[in-house]
Amino acid sequence: MATILINTKSKPARELVNFLKSLSFVKVLDDIEVEKEFNEETIEAIKEFEAGESIVCENFEDYLKKIEDV
């Protein structure tokens, strides 16, 4: 399973979500369902991501280097 977060404030993003909903193998959760589906740590990580408080890495080595500095 994969988790993808899509900011649905733009029309193209909403259209993408509507397309994904039409696929039988995709389950789209709204914000309330996400809160029920994930534990507190995951919800906090999602909020940090949405606030732009995430680490962007080029590859795994870059990730290891950046988390050393945290």
Residue 5 within a domain? no
The 10s digit of each residue's pLDDT in 7-58 is 888 999 999 999 999 999 998 887 665 556 778 888 888 888 888 888 788 9
Say how many CA atoms lie within 13 Å of 28 toward its Cβ.
15
For residue 3, the model assigns a pLDDT of 80
Q: pTM score, two decimals? A: 0.46
3-state helix, strand, coil in the chain (%, to 5): 55, 0, 45
Residue 1 within a domain? no
**Total domains in the fold of the chain:** 1
- Domain carrying residue 61: 11-68
